[in-house]
Amino acid sequence: MPNPTDPNQAKPRHALAVSLNTAFQSLDPIERLILLRHSVPGPLVFTTSLGLEDQVLTHLIIRSGIDVRFVTLDTGRLFPETHALWAATERHYGIRIEGFYPDAAAVEALVDTNGINGFYTGKPARQACCAVRKVAPLARALHGAAGWITGLRADQSATRQEMDFVGFDPARQLLKANPLFDWSRNRIATLAADEQVPVNPLHERGFLSIGCAPCTRAVAPGEPERAGRWWWEDEQTKECGLHLSPDGRLIRAGAHA
């Protein structure tokens, strides 16, 4: 079996990303998932935030019958509703969603330096918190994976519109697939309702994009979907770092190895 961390395999994985990105455009999400599983040697990992699109993607992965590890990042600051949905999703689908947690010593050092809610003081402090609570656990969650599945969508933000169905992550040497990339939120919500997919009750209270409790608020009618994330920051481009390459760009199929 190919080793997804072997730099010598970067070029073929990059070429596969480009090929799959083209093929995905004419397929539905289940067909995309099946093609991904048939095309990528080695483990596939789906990182779910338990948000609306990730719940639907969990549902579609189960329907597709493909072999995937389900994982989530528990930052230590999640909403109680998110934890309840985690348990409900496992019961509903008969699966185990593996939890990955931040290093205790790293959290202690972060809080000692910046304070318990230091992320409100500025973007560098917020990025430091995301790095400890999200990015570092993600590295452990994806260790040994050949492919990474996410619920990213083009209409979530202006910057995400520039992404692809499938990209190559040069830092992690793996493929990153977004099977719902061209789906709208309304289309996803309709499928969730029609097929009785368990969803977070916070969505009905205006929390469209749900992350850590201190960093998420409900959005007002007409506000962008991700306006409720890190709302105290002025920048239009708001990312926690999970989906960025080392140079700060979103991962695309055309990324260079």
- The residues annotated as belonging to the active site are 240
Where are the extended beta strands (E) located within 43-193? 44-47, 69-73, 97-100, 147-149, 166-169, 174-177
Q: Is the dihedral of CA 111, 241, 89, 37 positive or negative?
A: negative
d(CA 7, CA 4) in angstroms, rounded, equals 8
- Lookup: tokens for 173: 């040497």
10-19 burial code (b ≥16 CB/10 A, e <16): beebbebbbe
Measured over the CA atoms of residue 236, residue 102, residue 74 and residue 35, the dihedral's sign is positive
* DSSP assigned state of 145: -
Residue where the block lists tokens 């199929």: 253
